[in-house]
Amino acid sequence: MAMLGPYLLIERPEIVAAAQRRLRRRQRELFVVDRLEAEGTRVRGVLDGVTITQSVKILKPELRRIAVMETGDGLDPPALLVGRGGLILTLSGWDRGRLRAWERMKQWAGHGRAPVMPRCCWVFHDFRHTFALRLLMFQTREALRDAAAQRLPMATLLDHMTGNPLLVVQRRLGHASPATTYRYVRYLKDPMREVDEAFRGWTAAGGASYVTIARHALELEEARAAQG
């Protein structure tokens, strides 16, 4: 993340500037966005002479791939990371970058200050797991701290929904079931003790904690998978 600033200030503008002539030649093949509507939730642009207005959420990948914005200084793709051609990276482009990064990591693996290397080449989905685990650890520590300070049970459903670490991570990741999110708990140090402590004071006397509910749901899911 420390290198993101220099990339945005120096490298990305250079890549986009170098690609301007090529982008202008291909302009009729590109989706040239000339207007953002409804606070950026809808875009209007022109592709092959046809005006298209569409919600950003349902914008098809093939349209996103060729999208550029007319900025006055040139055509600029609406993406943080761009390829040498000045457009959003393709799947193969992401893979090439990933493999080049892996080769650089291996070159530095023997350095005294190098971190522990993964056993095999990472994939981008690993970043999602890392984010989820770090968020869960942070939310669990915060929950323990709050519970120790207040010593009060959560009184409403809203309290549970906003303060439960598993549900916070579930919402961030877009998991349909808490059982899916619960799998991340296994990576925490002594997870059952920490999470149970966090939720013990939040449920009615004798009531099941979210951990118990999630564990039960996970067992049911695994049982269905085994039967299928």
H or E element, residue 24: helix 20-25
The pLDDT assigned to 187 comes to: 66
Of 59, 75, 79, the residue nearest 26 (C-alpha) = 75
Which pLDDT value is given to residue 32? Answer: 93
**Distance (Å, whole) CA 87 – CA 65:** 7
User: pLDDT at position 58, please?
Assistant: 87
Query: What pTM does this model have?
Result: 0.55
Other CB atoms within 10 Å distance of the CB of residue 194: 19
What per-residue confidence (pLDDT) applies to 204?
44
Weakly modelled stretches of the chain, pLDDT under 70: 1-3, 38, 147-163, 185-228
CA dist 205 and 187 (Å) reads 29
Quick one: pLDDT at residue 215? 55
Long-range pairs, 209-216, Cβ under 8 A, ≥24: 210/160, 210/164, 210/166, 210/167, 210/178, 211/166, 211/182, 211/185, 213/178, 214/166, 214/178, 214/179, 214/181, 214/182, 215/182
